[in-house]
């Protein structure tokens, strides 16, 4: 039996032009990692909506599922498009339409549904970071007690929505994965990022990061990256009925 999922990418930012030739834009990164993790009977249709420019589906059920990707913006910035996206998360939640939030999307889901996101006292998280699984869900197969993902964030979810289930975290980032019901999954890390892109971002931000954070982040890229594992978890979540 063929399982088909129409995925709407709610894109709040673009990859900087100097990096696009080598790494592509966020929707392409996402498509590549998810399609590589898919089985032969899992197929996709992709639609991209530039939410920073007010592009949205005509109806929320136009797609089977949505993904909010990363952004240089903060979810608490005073921008009309950010508030519109926050409202749309509530619409998707009310309709129990599947939604995956990555980094900015993770933080947006938390803020929109009653949690809190703010600049973390610990500062920037960059490179490959480990998360420890605290509550394993059915979609987290193959099972692992911990996993590594590339991160690139200064903000963190500091308070989860009341109805959320925390799945993973670390001492640096206590809330790195959570879900709400069977329709929302949120991750701080980036399964769509490759090491080269992470290195390029850190190089661009070296002065902002400081030498110690930059050096530790670059060294961490030698660690195993569980992006394919987490991509499989996302697909299990999206295709679950």
* Residue 106 bears catalytic tag: no
Q: Given 5, 106, 167, 192, which residue is catalytic?
A: 192
pLDDT in tens, 163-220: 999 999 999 999 999 999 999 999 999 999 999 999 999 999 999 999 999 999 999 9
Read off the pLDDT of residues 102-112 as tens digits, 9 standing for 90 and up. 999 999 999 99
% of the chain beyond a pLDDT of 90: 98
- Catalytic residue at 86? no
Q: Has residue 53 got a pLDDT over 60?
A: yes
Bridge partners for 50 per DSSP:
11
Q: Residue 190 catalytic? A: yes
This prediction's pTM: 0.96
Task: Say if residue 2's pLDDT is above 80.
Answer: no
CA 75, CA 153: separation in Å to the nearest integer?
12
Segment 8-17 mean pLDDT: 97
Quick: pLDDT tens for 92-101: 999 999 999 9
3-state secondary structure the chain: CCEEEEEEEEECCCCCHHHHHHHCCHHHHHHHHHHHHCCCCEEEEEEEEEHHHCCCCCCHHHCCEEEECCCCCCCCCCCHHHHHHHHHHHHHHHCCCEEEEECHHHHHHHHHCCCEEEECCCCCEEEEEEEEECCCCCCCCCCCCEEEEEEEECEEEEECCCCCEEEEECCCCCCCEEEECCCEEEECCECCCCHHHHHHHHHHCHHHHCHHHHHHHHHHCCCCCCHHHHHHHHHHHHHCC
Catalytic residue among 5, 63, 103, 173: 103
C-alpha to C-alpha distance for 91 and 183, rounded to whole angstroms: 12
Phi/psi of residue 207, nearest 5 degrees: -65, -40
Residue 202, domain extent = 3-239
CB 188 within 8 A of CB 130: no
Mean pLDDT of the chain: 96
Number of domains in the chain: 1
Mean pLDDT of 61-81: 97
**What is the domain-level CATH number for residue 11?**
3.40.50.880
Residue of 106, 153, 167, 190 marked catalytic: 190
Nearest 5°: the CA angle 118, 108, 39 is: 130
Going by their DSSP bridges, the two strands 125-133 and 165-169 should be labelled as antiparallel
**pLDDT at position 190:** 98
Q: Give yes or no for a contact between 26 and 192, defined as CB atoms under 8 angstroms apart.
A: yes
């Amino acid at each position: 039996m063929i399982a088909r999922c129409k995925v709407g990418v709610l894109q709040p930012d673009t990859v900087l032009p100097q990096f696009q030739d080598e790494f592509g834009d966020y929707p392409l990164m996402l498509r590549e990692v998810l399609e590589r993790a898919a089985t032969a009977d899992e197929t996709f249709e992709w639609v991209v909506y530039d939410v920073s420019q007010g592009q949205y589906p005509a109806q929320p059920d136009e797609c089977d599922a949505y993904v909010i990707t990363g952004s240089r913006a903060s979810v608490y910035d005073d921008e009309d498009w950010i508030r519109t996206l926050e409202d749309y998360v509530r619409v998707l939640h009310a309709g129990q339409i599947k939604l995956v939030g990555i980094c900015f999307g993770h933080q947006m889901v938390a803020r929109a549904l009653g949690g809190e996101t703010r600049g973390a006292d610990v500062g920037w998280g960059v490179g490959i970071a480990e998360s420890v699984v605290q509550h394993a869900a059915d979609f987290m197969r193959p099972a692992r007690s911990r996993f590594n993902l590339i991160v690139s964030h200064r903000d963190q979810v500091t308070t989860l929505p009341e109805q959320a289930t925390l799945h993973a975290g670390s001492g640096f980032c206590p809330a790195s994965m959570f879900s709400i019901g069977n329709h929302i999954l949120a991750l701080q890390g980036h399964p769509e990022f490759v090491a080269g892109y992470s290195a390029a971002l850190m190089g661009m931000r070296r002065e902002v990061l400081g030498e110690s954070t930059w050096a530790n982040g670059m060294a961490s890229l030698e660690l195993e990256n569980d992006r394919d594992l987490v991509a499989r978890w996302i697909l299990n979540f999206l295709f679950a009925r």
